[in-house]
Structure 1
């Protein structure tokens, strides 16, 4: 009877390090040696952890998470509720693949294989941040959140970014606003480009002038909203309304407006994006686009589970509807506007 990997090494006639490499699915172990070690593991039913269990049963019931925002990010915290419920229902554990190396030779695919995960969830990355191209061609089911990467076993889920901003412009135009500025978020990113397209479409739909000077390329932070608004307010004809790509940027807009002695919504209307907790407690409470983060989290796991169970299942290309939450930060265009 084997009790540990030393016993496996002895029974298979290999070193302890070779057993470890096989159990962690490392390359550079010959097929013959790998099969000899696996045969001992199967024969002795050696399952001390999820990695070995996966070798014996063919599934680790574990999903890997690649994340750049940090576990405390308010966006991820809301996403987590949907992830957690779906994980419990489907019987998977989720491990945070935190040991990311930004060196060009780092391989997300090799990282997944070393942890023996059945599938991967990717959130907060841009297209060229890591070598995700190899993930797209691999056998590991992968779901990207807010990044439109596709492969035979890889797909994505995101909010309706275009329709959300287009609807926000429509709402402000309905209040009589004609000069509507936009604090974008990383225009070189997937969601940044989509939200910018929503702003463009919304302005054209309302018959309003599309002015490049009314667009500030921010980075979703409070500081970028503050800097953008200070710049907007210096102009001869400042905007009477500002739409932001995040609630944090909208909070920065409110900071700058208060500093300039402007009333919200009397002098300036503001709309955010995300509906994170802070949006309820700004003064006044923030009108914002609510993303259905619970659904995004829940469905991301459901799609992974489906691709794991059914190898021929098509990867997702899912766009989740949003809702404009009307609070107190928007009002009619001031007569002076």
Structure 2
């Protein structure tokens, strides 16, 4: 697999070695022909049992696989199989955070699970390619993949540059595409955030804190709440909140977090709840951040929602286990995952040789306010 200006010597070596009868390699001395001789079928029949099961009856395939298992054959070599098929069966996911953070972030984890489940019947699997890792930047250049998801990620990285240079089909999630041919799946963040802000205004709150992410910025109180947040998702939520709070003349303070992680959220919550003019309502970037605010409020002897109302974002499982349960903005992660998987499948199909030209897809997933017990009237 090559892209513009990209060469892979190891793949060329495989191609040179993969002559007739060697497209699929063996383990030790057990070859496809060994299995064919044992079962009494052709070598192609054995090959189809592994690579094209629809070409065989279930009974014959089971017989071939049983013989292969008895002889200790583990299947075609993956590199040679990629060469033969012209497909790796892998979708890369470019992710700004580390792999560990991808699984600590409940929304990212649930989204990836939804995409993986949707892609499973197609034989495609996900491979995380965090943009901050030097080794993974090399992986973005070298790892065989059929397409890539660019997930809430800065694109001024070497890793993204390699994905683009390889001319891979791309789908952007939670960020606007920076490549004209790419599809996207975005959340309708601004209306959801505006609804959350209007909810606390309707409850009488006028001192409001915004807790949001600002990768690369100094954590703490932002200079101007109207321009707080870094990245598409953060900016959209801030602008949604401010579209209601600004015209209402609310006293707003914004607190930046380095990332949407527990330690960052707890630090931001302490900053907001110990301000000299403490807010009576806190609008949070995520349910995880809202949970941190509820926890810190308890440590400070504050009642939620009696002293401070708290609104999350995402309607994750966490929002329903926090005490009190969180008022939040719901995003349908399953729908977002399905949309991303479909966009990937369509992008791969459109990139196939001889495929008809297609228009990139741009899907917007709706949001809605869910009111629970973490919000109440502003204290007198």
Q: Please tell me the TM-score bracket, short chain as reference.
A: 0.7 to 0.9
Query: SS of 2:148's equivalent?
Result: strand
Q: Aligned equivalents of 2:136 and 2:125: distance in 1?
A: 25
Q: Deviation string for 1:100-141 (max 9, x for gaps)?
A: 773399345413xx32x1111233532335441343354211
Q: Aligned equivalents of 2:330 and 2:162: distance in 1?
A: 34
Q: Which structure 1 segments of 5+ residues have no match?
A: 1-20
Of 199, 216, 239, 1:197 maps to 239
Q: Which structure 2 segments of 5+ residues have no match?
A: 25-75, 215-228, 352-356
Structure 1 residues 1-337: aligned runs within 5 Å: 27=7, 29=9, 34=12, 38=15, 41=18, 43-44=20-21, 46-47=23-24, 48-67=76-95, 68=97, 69-71=101-103, 73-89=105-121, 91-97=122-128, 102-103=133-134, 106-107=137-138, 109-111=140-142, 114-115=143-144, 117-136=145-164, 138-186=166-214, 187-205=229-247, 207-209=248-250, 211=252, 214-218=253-257, 219-311=259-351, 312-334=357-379, 336=380
Q: Aligned equivalents of 1:240 and 1:234: distance in 2?
A: 12
Instruction: Tell me if the contact between 2:131 and 2:160 (Cα under 8 Å) persists in the aligned partners.
Output: no
Q: Deviation string for 1:233-289 (max 9, x for gaps)?
A: 444532211100011211121122112222111121100112222221211111112
Instruction: Tell me if the contact between 1:184 and 1:244 (Cα under 8 Å) persists in the aligned partners.
Output: yes
Runs of 4+ with >6 A deviation: none
Query: SS of 2:255's equivalent?
Result: strand
Q: Tell me the TM-score normalized by structure 2.
A: 0.70
Instruction: Tell me if the contact between 1:65 and 1:94 (Cα under 8 Å) persists in the aligned partners.
Output: no
Distance apart, 1:77 and its partner CA:
3.0
Q: Deviation string for 1:175-210 (max 9, x for gaps)?
A: 2222221111122222222222112212135x2336
Tell me what 2:41 maps to.
none
Tell me what 2:49 maps to.
none
Query: SS of 2:198's equivalent?
Result: helix
Q: Aligned equivalents of 1:233 and 1:333: distance in 2?
A: 15
Tell me what 2:57 maps to.
none
Q: Aligned equivalents of 1:314 and 1:109: distance in 2?
A: 25
Q: Tell me the TM-score normalized by structure 1.
A: 0.78
Q: Aligned equivalents of 2:360 and 2:163: distance in 1?
A: 13
Tell me what 1:7 maps to.
none
**Would the alpha carbon gap of residues 71 and 262 (structure 1) be closer, same or farther in structure 2, given more than 3 Å must change?**
closer
Q: Aligned equivalents of 2:150 and 2:288: distance in 1?
A: 23
Distance apart, 1:158 and its partner CA:
2.6
Instruction: Tell me if the contact between 2:105 and 2:260 (Cα under 8 Å) persists in the aligned partners.
Output: no
